[in-house]
Amino acid sequence: MARIETPSLLDHRSAISRRELLRVGALGVGGLSLPGLLRCEQAHASTAAHPSRAKSVIVLFLSGGPAHMDMWDMKPNAPAEIRGTFRPTSTNVPGIQVSEHLPGMARNADKYAILRAVHHKTSSHPAACYWMMVGSAIARPVPESNRLSREDRPHLGSALAKVLGPRSDLPACVMVPEAIQPNGPVRSGQHAGFLGPAYDPYLVHSDPNLADYSPGPIGLLDGLSPRRLQARLKMLDAWQGSAADPVHASEVARFDTYYQRACDLVSSPAAQKAFRIDEEPDATRDRYGRHVFGQSVLLARRLIEAGVRLVHVNWVRHDGGKGGQGYDSHRDHLAWAKKELLPPTDAAFTALLDDLDERGLLDETLVLMMGEFGRTPRFNKNAGRDHWPHCFSAVLAGGGIRGGQVHGASDKIGAYPVDDAVSPDDIIATVLHRLGIDPHTTIYDLQARPHRLVEGTPISAIL
């Protein structure tokens, strides 16, 4: 089973072992073979003929499950045990209100649409994450959804890598700052599944807010002189040319015409530059927030601007570790949300929309902010809110999405949809539609079995 992890690659020693030569040739990144990644430029499935505005996507995944009634679907007239102490505030769009602790979003409501009646059927974190990222319920038993499997459907970014290929010399899909694994293995839905490792996301696996931030293998060659790199490549060429025995020959066959382009990728100054967040002005970094989420969102903007097709930003959380409970606020919910959750989320999202708009990129970049589900209308005995998949909210902006509107409605306490309910399948279908892809496009797994990208329907009211 493939893992999403950042392997150790070229070091600065003068000698390279046969094993290292294999690693140089494969240049595995984030569980993904770079020569395989570059194969994504071939065998693209056909796309629909309708015009496209969006060229790229940024997914902001609020891991744990954001409480919709304390953010985007306030219930000021509900009983205190439902509404809590947060109050709604008016936005720059008449009739739309959000939480008082989202002042930046209040100023930018004309740029995004709120879906207030998203729903699905699982309260399991791993299974719900899978559904939201993939656009389909997991076929395996829910208890098995806490790990990756090549039986699974592909992450949205991996699907785009398969259908559209890369936009530039950079990977088609990048995940920052780490995969979701708060208390064990990497959870399902975060790699290419049945498409195979060639389409797995490139995983940065490093906090861009820290001084020791590293972008992974792309950064390992930063500072390695062209002369030394070429010397290593010549050694590999000589090794490849010495294939005499069948086993050796079969290994060499893996290094096809995409090999040199894979080397070009990790040694590319343009690729390395895209990941160098320290080149951003201090004022810009401050606007996004000096926080792992804020700096990850800023890195996402840099990568999109450089030509990455989809960047997925996970909200970091670890049970008993960095990020704590994250958005999985089963205790002290309001205090935690007011201090740890909403300010950095608001700052990063607002800075991103403003930045994209100022750079002329908002119309061609679709931003999707969501979590795996919402949280219970009623507080529990620990002043927390628990898992609630029956009705919650998501936010979309840019990329041809009509801002300044709310689609769908929940009941008086935010428990169930009462109007225009949508599924995760519909959200993924909407993203695909804005990229010019028919959501029902057929893709094939490694056994050549056909699958539709997604069974959902684009949400026409926000297009």
- Name the nearest CA neighbour of 396 among 300, 463, 324, 328: 463
**Averaged pLDDT, 31-44:** 42
Q: Which 3 state secondary structure label does DSSP give 173?
A: strand
Beta strands in 331-422 (DSSP E): 365-370, 374-375, 387-388, 392-397, 405-407, 409-410, 417-419
CB 331 within 8 A of CB 22: no
Q: Which of 13-27, 224-238, 403-417 has the highest mean predicted lDDT (pLDDT)?
A: 403-417
Residue 198 pLDDT class (50, 70, 90 cuts): confident
Q: What is the pLDDT of residue 430?
A: 98
Given a cut of 90, whether residue 72 has pLDDT beyond it is: yes
Q: What is the pLDDT of residue 31?
A: 41
Q: What is the pLDDT of residue 53?
A: 83
For the chain, give the percent of residues with pLDDT over 90. 72
Longest dimension (CA), the chain: 78
Domain boundaries, the chain: 53-218+275-462
Given a cut of 50, whether residue 4 has pLDDT beyond it is: no
**Spatial distance between the Cα atoms of 402 and 343, rounded to a whole number of angstroms:** 25
370 beta partners: 61
Q: What is the pLDDT of residue 251?
A: 40
Residue 218 pLDDT class (50, 70, 90 cuts): confident
Residue 167 pLDDT class (50, 70, 90 cuts): confident
**Averaged pLDDT, 158-173:** 91
The domain 53-218+275-462 having CATH identifier 3.40.720.10: the answer here is: yes
Give one DSSP letter per residue of 2-65, joined into a string: ----------S-S---HHHHHHHHH-EETTEEHHHHHGGGSSPPP--SS-----EEEEEE-TT-
CB 107 within 8 A of CB 92: yes
Q: What is the pLDDT of residue 253?
A: 41
What's phi and psi for 56, nearest 5 deg?
-150, 170
More confident residue, 51 or 167: 167
**Spatial distance between the Cα atoms of 62 and 374, rounded to a whole number of angstroms:** 10
Q: Which of 221-225, 230-234, 243-247, 319-323 has the highest mean predicted lDDT (pLDDT)?
A: 319-323
Q: What is the pLDDT of residue 272?
A: 83
Average pLDDT over all residues of the chain: 84
**Averaged pLDDT, 149-176:** 94
Q: What is the pLDDT of residue 52?
A: 54
pTM listed for this prediction: 0.84
Residue 316 vs residues 60, 138, 278, 345, 463: alpha-carbon distances, Å: 11, 23, 21, 12, 31
More confident residue, 336 or 16: 336
Q: Which of 28-42, 212-226, 437-451 has the highest mean predicted lDDT (pLDDT)?
A: 437-451
For the chain, give the percent of residues with pLDDT over 70. 78
Tokens of 376: 């219970």
**Averaged pLDDT, 130-138:** 98
What would the pLDDT profile of 280-331 be if each residue is shown by its tens digit?
A: 999 999 999 999 999 999 999 999 999 999 999 999 999 889 999 999 999 9
**Averaged pLDDT, 29-43:** 42
**Spatial distance between the Cα atoms of 247 and 245, rounded to a whole number of angstroms:** 6
What's phi and psi for 461, nearest 5 deg?
-65, -20
Q: What is the pLDDT of residue 42?
A: 40
**Spatial distance between the Cα atoms of 253 and 240, rounded to a whole number of angstroms:** 9
**Spatial distance between the Cα atoms of 451 and 150, rounded to a whole number of angstroms:** 14
Given a cut of 80, whether residue 104 has pLDDT beyond it is: yes
More confident residue, 1 or 182: 182
Q: Which 3 state secondary structure label does DSSP give 410?
A: strand
More confident residue, 170 or 230: 170
**Spatial distance between the Cα atoms of 116 and 73, rounded to a whole number of angstroms:** 7
Exposure class string for 64-93: b at 16+ Cβ within 10 A, else e:
bbbbbbbbbbbbeebeeebbbebebeebeb
> What type of residue sits at position 115?
L
What would the pLDDT profile of 382-441 be if each residue is shown by its tens digit?
A: 999 999 999 999 999 999 999 999 999 999 999 999 999 999 999 999 999 999 999 999
**Spatial distance between the Cα atoms of 157 and 32, rounded to a whole number of angstroms:** 13
